[in-house]
Structure 1
């Protein structure tokens, strides 16, 4: 029998990026929580590493953007994707990515005050743990969640201390399963996944070596191999830079019917690394070898009663497009404020249902995009004239056409350019990463969804205050200091953004806040106000009149807007807040 019981509002199972973000956000909201993790520490392999602008913004809202920027590889060192036969030969192609291209850079800088950065889980997770500890909270490592029962008053979980073998119980009102790809919480909640598993098999080789002579003059995160010959998908592998220019992961795909790369020795791993480089290296340290499979799975539902699942527990997909860590953190940031307001009796239970309604369609689209990106990346070899059934000599001949002054050379170069254009859907996907919108849930829609072609929605971010979208970034000033419109929300408050003619909204917000107990901060933006709009960016992007209002949720997504003040702003705002909070 368990030997003692702990009580908390939220039990979080799993201390990966999703679980740590959940704990850190709840800590800032003042919600009691208990975070357990069965492993002895944070990530033992770098794994996920791309931190997109939306995730950097979330870290900004949690007060740790500066910590992230100090720890991460900066955006300028992520500039290039390379396509090589081996590192010591002239590259086959180079493409600017992550908003570094001259044509893409303005889109990224205008869309957000934050950067895309490269921060592997081995760095990112300790950063979150340290931030959590500064709040007075902590991670309880080597604590394995075993099972749960509902006694009518809440959930009672059994947890085993793996150091001593003893068990104890944790009573909680809610449970958040952030326990990854083999989620016990998902199963215990009666939830399940649809989709395919083991589409491909891969092994990751984590190593250190000085590759600066090959890469310092053309820095980037990813180097794709296009070596000729009958080779597995991605040829000799994909090289991922985790720290310039001495720490990397080499990903090798393989056919398990022919070999098992997860059983490779350090000497085998070194041979794979040197094959990719094209020549022997002086010093190589193999730090880890890990096998994994490419899955395409999404949960049918993300929650059941008071049990919620986030991150890899509910969506599993290839690492292409770099969406996994970012989707997982967005799951937790979406859910945390809803749990907090329901726990404080400010919101009704329907607000919790909106977690599934909002996040599941976004994550399903991300899974589909990641799978398509993987397929598209493999099709680049077709553009180069490489095929599995050709000899190595035939492959070299096809690549040689890229340098020919001939019709065949023209055709080969056009095909390569077209394939690289398609790769922008994976590596310059600002619309997908920053422009996703919640079409239903804790939002009140007032116009049709974005009907632009799918490619355009992936590649182009459209700043808008249409409900469900993240509030657009505009450069503002307060007390002569720069400020972004995304910073006008604090903690669990809602923000009502109004213009010079929106004074009626201040009285409306005070009355609604008093009636419903929800904090609504009113910010007047424009000439002659405390918050200046020096470049008229908010005026251009707010999409409401001088008397209108934009209501922003704690997660910085627009919940509702009024194009202009009607005859009874208080009644309009009261109805909106009641609907959003299920009151």
Structure 2
């Protein structure tokens, strides 16, 4: 439910209780709350703001994020709200919209050279989905579960924690009243100026104040300049002019350009800048909002202290290069939520939560480093075009217009531009970064995983599917009951999954025992048998990394927790599950536990129901 008034505890002076308190209602916080709710865990979200994001902000939504959103049950909504980036494949670099185009590449799997690798990696294609459209989808889905209390205009003030829980002081901003929330765990998803992060003493490391930018959300009809070269972003070669992000084709945009620190352009200055960038001094311009922001390239080495966990911009901040901001934040929440749920229900020990920082902090650092390099690469385009020292504006135009002349000088510049476009693939088609991040997971030294080493050795550009420990389960098409399915859709929904094949009967029996012994939500998927999922094209066999009778143990977030290339016996799986859950080092003597613990109610039925009748 939404609560914009005073909380119950404000009137009584008593602390109210909730299993998880989430500070911040952006993509990270909403993903955490929705994922928890899908697993039956109540949470309260507090945000000092009056609404969700009211400007477009982040917009590139990559394949892994769309997979996560599908698992959370909002696939139809995000697909309807977003634009498939494959339909906007161009990436033009221009002086003005009406003026000459200097270069063009393709982006986010949209071009013919990249479509096959993107399409073979996931059943989902990347979307252009602005944050002001995504956040309400997540908020509605979370509130509709009946397990999420989303409180606008409620500001987090302070916290203290001990071994029994966390107490947080909250202020209802309308009335000024303060109240206390007692929770088992607190999540700080409160952005780049995170109070939660400051209070638990986390430090960000890296570069600050690299550039200041103005962002203007605009209504301006650019159909004559854009419809023939559809793109999500139109880039300015002259860095004094804006680059443009499409919000709705071809009349709603965000323009972004560099400004001096401390300067806030007014409406007249924005309109003048827009008309200069378009190349039409009379074009009608509607200004929805104007804002400024600063580029930082910083990340924390540790994301949690005790019972308090931070995520999103609180612990990693970077430029928009590569389009990784909201994607990384959503993945933070998705990683943490299932672990909180398993600990709160008593299925896992508290040690499971200690894996959050070691798994997500390296990913955050990778993103910061990648976007720093990508931003620097973008700035060298002027050098490739030989316009950095070209002098007056007329000289810059002449250099661009002469790029295709039949002269040795122009040929050399064309070669430089072509090399630059290949380098920018690491900015716009960095598939290995988008889809291929791997966690350094807890390594149960049981089974026979170490017999095979197929961990990815690819660079940021290339995603190589793998079932090595810490990878997310690769996509492969399988069939069941005349339906075509992705292997990615066979896992998740808040459950562990055992994936095996012909001769995997011992794994099926061990899974039954694991449910009884640990109270673990666990699904079995058998691929390759006559009555199981059919690998009709051999796609699964090519990526599975195990023999027919081998086994994969897949976590609720889709990442590989353990595998056995072939069958060493079902006890190995029980031992692995015990270690992954932070229970006894080995399964002997472990008592059964209830799957419902303190702070939960019956789980969302869609989270518990198997995809089909062969799930269990």
Q: Which TM-score tier does this pair reach, normalised by the shorter chain?
A: over 0.9
DSSP 3-state at the match of 1:355: helix
Cα distance in 1 for partners of 2:69, 2:378 equals 30
| Alignment partner, residue 255 of structure 2 | 250
> In the aligned structure 2, how far is the partner of 1:442 from the partner of 1:195?
31
Partner residue of 1:516? Answer: 518
State the secondary structure of the residue aligned to 1:500. Answer: coil
Offset at residue 348 of structure 1 (A)? 1.4
Does the Cα contact within 8 Å between 1:354 and 1:442 map onto a contact in 2?
no
What CA distance in whole angstroms lies between the structure 1 residues aligned with 2:456 and 2:162?
Answer: 47
Q: Distance in 1 between matches of 2:279 and 2:329?
A: 37
Which of residues 176, 191, 216 in structure 2 aligns to 1:180? Answer: 191
Given candidates 529, 543, 552, the residue that maps to 2:531 is: 529
Change (3 A) 1:30 1:443: farther
Distance in 1 of aligned mates of 2:472 and 2:92: 33
Q: How many residues align?
A: 568
Aligned to 1:72: 82
Partner of 2:217: 206
* 1:392 shift after superposition: 2.7
Picking from 5, 10, 14, the partner of 2:20 is: 10
Q: Which residue of 2 aligns with 1:231?
A: none
Q: CA deviation at 1:476?
A: 1.1
TM-score (norm 2): 0.89
Cα distance in structure 2, aligned partners of 1:151 and 1:493:
30
Contact 2:85 2:126 in 1 (8 A): yes
Match of 1:84 in 2: 94
Aligned counterpart, 2:273? 272
> 2:85, 2:128 within 8 Å by CA — same for their partners in 1?
yes
Q: Secondary structure of 1:113's match? A: coil
Structure 1 residues 8-17 or 67-76, which shifts more? 67-76
Equivalent positions of 1:158-557 (< 5 A) are 158-227=169-238, 234-256=239-261, 260-262=262-264, 264-387=265-388, 390-441=391-442, 446=450, 450=455, 452=457, 456-557=458-559
Q: Cα gap change, 1:442/1:388 in structure 2, threshold over 3 Å: closer, same or farther?
A: farther
Q: Give the stretch that moved more between structures: 434-443 or 338-347.
A: 434-443
Could you tell me how far apart the structure 2 residues matched to 1:78 and 1:261 are? 34
Quote how far apart the aligned CAs of 1:443 are.
Answer: 7.1
Structure-1 separation of matches of 2:401 and 2:469: 52
Residues 218, 551 of structure 1: alpha-carbon distance in 2 compared, 3 angstrom cutoff:
same
Contact 1:431 1:460 in 2 (8 A): yes
* Kept in 1: contact 2:501–2:527 (CA 8 A): yes
SS in 1 for 2:328: helix
SS of alignment partner, residue 360 of structure 1: helix
Q: Distance in 1 between matches of 2:273 and 2:454?
A: 48
CA distance in 2, matches of 1:63, 1:341: 20
The secondary structure found in structure 1 opposite 2:333 is helix
**Range that drifts further, 280-289 or 246-255:** 280-289
Between 1:77-86 and 1:61-70, the stretch displaced more is 77-86
Judge conservation of contact 1:274–1:281 (CA < 8 Å) in 2. Answer: yes
Q: Is the 8 A contact 1:527 1:533 kept in 2?
A: no
Give 1:449 deviation, angstroms. 7.3
The answer to whether the 8 Å contact 1:385/1:399 transfers is no
CA RMSD of superposed structures (Å): 1.7
Shift of residue 217, structure 1, vs aligned partner: 1.1
Alpha-carbon distance change, 527 to 331 in structure 1, aligned in 2, over 3 angstroms: same
Quote the Cα distance in structure 1 between the aligned partners of 2:423 and 2:529.
44
- Asked if the contact 1:201/1:253 (under 8 Å) is kept, the reply is yes
Residue by residue, what CA displacement relative to the aligned partner does 1:283-304 show, whole Å, maximum 9, x if unpaired? Answer: 2110111110000111121000
Match of 1:576 in 2: 576
User: Is the Cα contact below 8 Å between 1:205 and 1:249 reproduced in 2?
Assistant: yes
Secondary structure at the counterpart of residue 457 of structure 1: coil
Conserved 8 A contact 1:525-1:533: yes
Whole-angstrom distance in 2 between the partners of 1:441 and 1:267: 57
Note if contact 2:443-2:562 (Cα within 8 Å) is conserved in structure 1: no
**Cα shift at 1:281:** 4.3
Q: Distance in 1 between matches of 2:330 and 2:244?
A: 25
Distance 1:573 1:451 in 2: 24
**CA apart distance, 1:344:** 1.1
